[in-house]
Amino acid sequence: MKRMLFCLCLVSYLVSFQTPANGALPSPSARQLKWQKMETIAFIHFSINTYTDMEWGFGNESPALFNPDRLDCRQWVRTCKEAGIKGIILTAKHHDGFCLWPSKYTEHSVKNAPWKSGKGDLVREFSEACKEYGMEMGLYLSPWDCNHPDYGKPEYITYFRNQLRELLTNYGDLFEIWFDGANGGRGYYGTDSLHMRKIPADYYGWAENVRMVRELQPDCIVHGGDLADVRWVGNEEGYAGTTHWSMMSPPQKPSAEIPYKLQLNTGFADGTVWLPSETDVSVRPGWYYHASEDHQLKSLPKLLDIYYESVGRNSLLLLNIPPDKQGLIHPADSACLLAWKKQLDLELANDLLPGNCRFTSSQSEGFSRCMDGNEDSYWDLKTPKGFVEINFGKEICFNRILLGEYIPGGQRVKSFTVSYLSGGKWKELDRHTTIGYKRILRYPETKTSKIRIDFKDALENPLINRLSVFHAPVITEPPLVRRDRNGRVTLISPDPHSKIYYTLNGETPFPSEKNLYKTPFMADGRQTIKAIAEGGRGRISEVSEKIYPYSKKEWKVIGDTLATDIFFDERSDRTWRASNRQEPVVIDLGQEVTIEKIDYTPDQFRYAHGIILKYELSLSSDNRHWTAPIQGEFSNIRNNPVTKSIQMPPGSTGRYLRFKSVETVHGDAPGIAEMDVVYRTAGEP
């Protein structure tokens, strides 16, 4: 969502920071430290895009579309609070320029919407809800504005700052102001025609913008722009690097051979400025609510992974929760969040330390301070290397270890190992690099009577202020549902000892002999498959759901058997790459059909290539005469490369589909992991 055009962010905002004096390690400011301790905050994406079913608007949307009939900001905030979230950021103005408050400086706002007869102020309602529930409030203000006629001109900067001042002065204290990195591009800009506008790198004058923030909201974190307090983590998938430093370097320091996003994802051990990361991800594929994604919420295991790979890797988690068209967080999203909070509480509830444990360490003085629950006290190892050995006095079972550094003294640990006693011998369980504010390590259930942690290397003597060991209750993960191109369905449980139950009628399955999965089965035609797994002690997983159209056994890519094999294998872990950047592919569906939508899945690997940004497609009945091409763009696919849908106009019929990549994100040859066509056959209602 963040649409972070990274060329605008890393190089310039690092220049402004000063290197610590006398070789001292970088450390957080008071506002950075307070922000880091929040650990998990929320994004609320709600605006005109909610009603156009888009991710990025064009700027010509009518305010008349905005009319939530049950809007309740209190429900948003209450849901987040119950999920353990400490702060919420609302998209007050997105790229389309529509303002959720009655700004004095534009007519493109809620004051010209039917909602509350133009008398509403959503930002105020949000602010009041945050105050009522004791929730920290943040606001998102897009620098890019596809609606404003002066965008790209000096006059727009005055307009932007006027709006920034409105938000900073009229709604109470803010913990974070969020400036998006997507700047310039297509929009209507106050006209009836869609066109492009480009801006110079120094267009926004960030020094003055941030000066205003510091003056009016001195405790407010700035995200984005040239003088940010925090950095983007480098992806929108919800993970920080396994090595993750809170320090970054001036632009002349990083290697030009390392991709910028990777630099953001790892940071630098020799970084000279404290710039912690914010890991943003949505509970759904998109950042705005789309009814078509109601069945695509991230599973409980996935949300747990996201927490452990963000907060548990020294980052802060920014989790997006988009309200629906009524103005409410969808019940499925609420249930998902509450289940996530409940499971996290269970997993990190019962610390096995100190208990009746005996401790041996390289530095016994002050060791107990890392277990006293006081984040402002710490165990100083005195030297860059050291160890602690934990003797439980009996055999225990563990699967989580939590460590933390006292970051007001800087981030110090460069490497450490975890070992456990087995059969009278020490076995190395794990080795890692960084710790930072919080590091949570996950393991298979491991039985032992002793654990040893060796700090192998550090920038300076480690200052450890947290040490915990847990035996987290294991959840049963939902089964995977896979169908090959011939319609053969296989159900797979991550736990080989689990039993799987399924239905084909859309009903939720329950454990019974008639629902028990035994062998793969055929499912052709429009089909809804639901499946659950039953683990040990009768634990039931979440429901896996797949809605399948017709099988693809008759489909083929004309002239390319490899593409045929990859496009239609219903797997996203293989990607076909074109040899020619703009050579179209022609798909033969085997019969004349009415096409409702086309789904494109790009390369799903973390460092993806060939992601198609702009496309062109046509239909034909005979592979000779083609319809006029439909042109489009996959909004936000650059940073959120999930499956994207092309909704076809009513009456779109044909047997052949010609799909052409007009532009890819990196200008390379296009890649396709999967192509899906949802259609109706002749005579089908």
Residues ≥6 apart with Cβ < 8 Å to 540: 476, 511, 532, 533, 534
Q: Report pLDDT digits (tens) over 634-683.
A: 988 876 788 899 999 999 999 999 999 999 988 899 999 999 998 988 76
Read off the pLDDT of each residue in 447-453 and give the average, rounded to a whole number: 97
pLDDT at 23: 61
| Greater model confidence, 13 or 314 | 314
Contacts 24+ apart (CB under 8 A), 130-135: 130/77, 130/88, 130/172, 131/172, 132/74, 132/77, 133/74, 133/77, 133/78, 133/81, 134/81, 135/77, 135/80, 135/81, 135/85, 135/86, 135/87, 135/88
Q: Poorest-confidence range of 334-343, 376-385, 431-440, 494-503?
A: 494-503
Q: Which helix (H) or strand (E) holds 593?
A: strand 585-601
For residue 252, pLDDT over 60 is answered with: no
**pLDDT tens by residue, 459-487:** 999 999 999 999 998 888 899 999 998 99
pLDDT tens readout for residues 417-427: 999 999 999 99
- At 125, list the tokens: 């309602």
pLDDT at 7 over 50: no
Note the pLDDT of residue 258. Answer: 78
**How far apart, in whole angstroms, are the C-alpha atoms of residue 674 and residue 564?**
10
Q: Which residue has the higher pLDDT, 257 or 436?
A: 436
Computed over every residue of the chain, the mean pLDDT equals 92
Judge whether residue 360 has pLDDT over 50. Answer: yes
Question: Contact, 243 vs 434, CB < 8 A?
Answer: yes
Nearest in space to 585 (alpha carbons), one of 677, 670, 664, 647: 670
> What's the rounded Cα separation, in Å, for the pair 93 and 123?
10
pLDDT of residue 11: 38
**What is the C-alpha separation between 434 and 418, in angstroms, rounded?**
13
Cis peptide bond upstream of 68, omega within 30: no
Better-predicted residue by pLDDT, 494 or 89: 89
pLDDT at 254 over 90: no
Q: Strand, helix or coil at 114?
A: coil
Q: How confident is the model at residue 580 (pLDDT cuts 50, 70, 90)?
A: confident
Supply the pLDDT for residue 22. Answer: 52
Query: How many other CB atoms are there within 10 angstroms of residue 194's CB atom?
Result: 13
The pLDDT value recorded for residue 526 is 81
Q: For the residues 107-118, what does the mean pLDDT come to?
A: 98
Could you tell me whether strands 195-197 and 247-248 are parallel, antiparallel, or unpaired per DSSP bridges?
unpaired
Highest mean pLDDT among 154-163, 179-188, 241-250, 351-360: 154-163
Mean pLDDT of 284-290: 92
* Measured distance CA(657)–CA(588) in Å, rounded: 7
* Tokens matching residue 306: 């996201």
- Does the pLDDT value for residue 92 go beyond 90? yes
The pLDDT tens digits for 515-560 are 999 999 999 888 899 999 998 667 899 899 988 888 899 999 999 9
